[in-house]
Each structure stands twice: as structure tokens, then as C-alpha cells.
Amino acid sequence: MCAETVTGQVTRFYRDADGNLVKKSDGAGTVMIVNEPYEEAGGVATSYYTFGSQRPSAGSGTVAMRVAGAVYWLHGDHLGSASLTTNASGQKVAELRYLPFGETRWAWGTTPTDRRYTGQREVPAIGLYDYNARMYWPAVGRFVSADTVVPGPGNPQAFNRYMYVLGNPLRYIDPSGHDPLDENWRREFYQAHGRQPTQDDIRARLFSLLFCGSGNNCAWTDGDWKYYNANSDDLWSAKTTWRNQWGEADPRFGATAGLPAFSQHVARLATHYVGGEEAQFVKAFFLIWGDAGGSGSSSYLTAARGATRSPAGRRMPLWEGRPGAVMQGWSPAYIDAMAPDYDQGHHYAFFLYVGYFLSEPVARAGVRIADSPNDNRADYDLGNLAVGHAIALKSGWLGLGDFASTMCVALSGGGVCP
């Protein structure tokens, strides 16, 4: 439980072990939140309804709500803020308009939901918004506490850990109180293309998180995307080097190829996730580096809820160097003697995913089925190492901030890691 006091008004927030809000109490009463779509206050039940990929106006995908039996339709603006409310007959009952950083600048009628600016929960008694991880103060356009991570070290704006959406509230939202990019990108993509992103679109997005673009603060420009789209297969397979106008070297070529490049990219990926988002991190990790096509444990990945194929078929995982260099820095214990030029990061990614989403006994059985210790000791030991890292990550013993360095030290056999 935590409490906020403003001008003598105390508002208490009660959260479960995962940080989800389950109860809020203030001078106006107590709201019980049974789960995200349902809540109750003073004996009055409120339910929220979602529809596919519609922009939210009171939470992700929400389009309607029912309060004490009355149905209201919620219409959001381009950021998902609750802007217009109509009743079951389509008549307007309320309207809200906002200043850029979220203060209400005009209101008409009574909006039935407290999920307002960008779909977040307003706490009017204290003038703040509950952004899950942190409270946000729209009057000053800042969070009231510092972010626990720097979500994008390549962007100087990210080092102001009180800043809201990199100072660009007309374009971005921050659904979790941490990184504003991932979920916002999916919604912006839908707005721009009128469809949900495919696996290829998601992979392109993930690639752009690992490699710096030519725009300000490493943002990707139209020229970067044109180059990527024309060379995507060769970029993923390390046949072509990534380039941008800033001249940042592609770490997969030269002395940093292999494990140093792999570790650098994993560290960059980890900066876009926070505690509680380990599952999303592992899924992204697999989409980038995983290769189930040649493994005898593909059935285990299916059981682990992992999609290995897009509509056009399985995609090339990211190679961290060319043949002859891709295993630089790796411990000889993890190099496949039968395929010494195969990027073992793919094998690691596969069993990291399996280890995270399946029970430990099933995951370790999958390692043994895929690679007998008598036939391929390197793959067998690497698979078990990845399962161990997955278990440590899932249990909280290993944090996202330490994951890349821990992985690098283990894969190098205790060597020096960047």
C-alpha cells in the first residue's frame, strides 16, 4: 500500500505482488478493482469492453463500458485519451479536451470513466494520474518519481528520468510508466497501415532497437528504412553491414564480432524492458536470435506458445558475425564441433525461450531430446545453461539489467565482457 497526500487529502493505493492496482480509497470512497476490466465502488459495478485493435480511450483496446446497467461508448483521440462519450443510442453525453501534457482544458457533461488522458486513471483528489509504475503530474508534465531505468541510453532525453515521453506528448504515450515506445509503436503502426504488425514488421522494429539510425538521437530516418527494406535478409544474416550517416560501426564485423556483438545487442534490448516485463523480453529475444528450424525440440517451442513461423515461413535469426568470426569470444565448451561456424546464440535463444515458458523438468528433457550429451556435448551444455538463465530470470534471481553481462561471462567461460 502507498499513500499520496495533497492539501490534506489522503489517497491510498493498494497493489498486488505484480504491481497491479486492486483497490483505491480517498475521501470519495473506495474502488475495488477485481481485475482490469471490472471494478466496483459503493456497490455499483463497472465493466469495460474491448474490441480487437481499436485505439483505447479507457485502457488498451477499450471501446465501451457498462455502469450500473447503462452502456456508454468511449471514443478516443490519436493518443487514446477519452475524448467523447456517447450513450447506447449514440447521443453525446460528455466531451473532454486536453492540453498537450494532459491537463483538462475543456469539459462538457459528465464523463463516466476516470481513465482519461492516454487511457490512464486520473486521481482528481490529488491532481495526478496513475501510470502503474509511477504517478504522473500533468500540470508540470513530469512524473513525480524517477524512472527505475534509462529506457534508451542512446537518447540523451532518456537520462532525465522524470521526463514524460521524451518531451513529445503529441506523439508518444507511456502505458507502463517506463519505456514509451513498444506498445505505442504497435498502435502507431495500426494507425499508419490499418492493420496489425506482422512478424516481419515486429522483427524490423526489434532490429531498429539494436542498430542506431541516422536521425537525431539514433532515430531511424526514411533513408534508414529504405536501406533496411532493400537489404533486410542480408542484414539479418550479416552478409551486409548496417550503416548510418553517423558512422556507427556494425559490431558484427571486425574484432567485436561474435560474443561481444551478441552481448552488446542483448544489453540494448534489455534497456527497453523493466521488471515485470521479463516474458516480453524473452519473446523479443527469441524473435531476434531464435532458430527452431534445425532443432529436434520444435514441438517444445509449440507447447511454449511460441510462433516460429510467419505467414511467409520461418525467418532468418540475427547472425552476430560472418563464418569464421561469429563464434569469437565464446568458450570452446559451447562451440559445436560439427558446425563450428554456426551462431550458437540461436541455440541459446531457443532454450532460453523453452526454459522460460515451460517447467524446468520439461525444458531439460527437451535439451536431452535435442542433443544427447554423448553426441553433442556443446549443444547439450549450452541448452542447459540457457534453461538455467531462463529459470533465474523468471524467478527474479537474475534481473534484466544484469542479464547481458551474466550471459556474456557464462558464454565466454569467465572471460572479459564488454
What is the rounded CA–CA span in Å between residue 66 and residue 268? 42
Give the per-residue pLDDT at 174.
64
Give the per-residue pLDDT at 386.
95
* Number of neighbouring beta carbons within 10 Å of residue 289: 24
Label residue 332 left, alpha or beta by phi (over 0 means left) and psi (-120 to 50 means alpha): alpha
Give the per-residue pLDDT at 199.
77
Give the per-residue pLDDT at 173.
64
Q: Where are the domains of the chain?
A: 46-167, 198-411
Strand, coil or helix: 326: coil
Model confidence over 384-409: pLDDT tens digits? 999 999 999 998 888 888 899 999 99
Give the per-residue pLDDT at 187.
65
Strands (E), 120-245: 121-123, 128-130, 135-137, 142-143
Residue spans of the chain under pLDDT 70: 1-9, 16-20, 26-37, 50-62, 148-158, 171-188, 216-217, 245-247, 291-314, 416, 418
The per-residue DSSP string of 235-283 comes to: HHTTSS----TT----TTSGGGTTHHHHHHHHHHHHTT--TT-HHHHHH
Helical H runs in 290-359?
298-303, 345-357
Give the per-residue pLDDT at 305.
39
Q: How many DSSP H helices and E strands does the chain contain? A: 10, 15
Give the per-residue pLDDT at 285.
92
Name the amino acid, one letter, at 200. Answer: D
Contact indicator for 221, 214 with CB cutoff of 8 Å: yes
- H/E run at residue 4: strand 2-6
Give the per-residue pLDDT at 219.
75
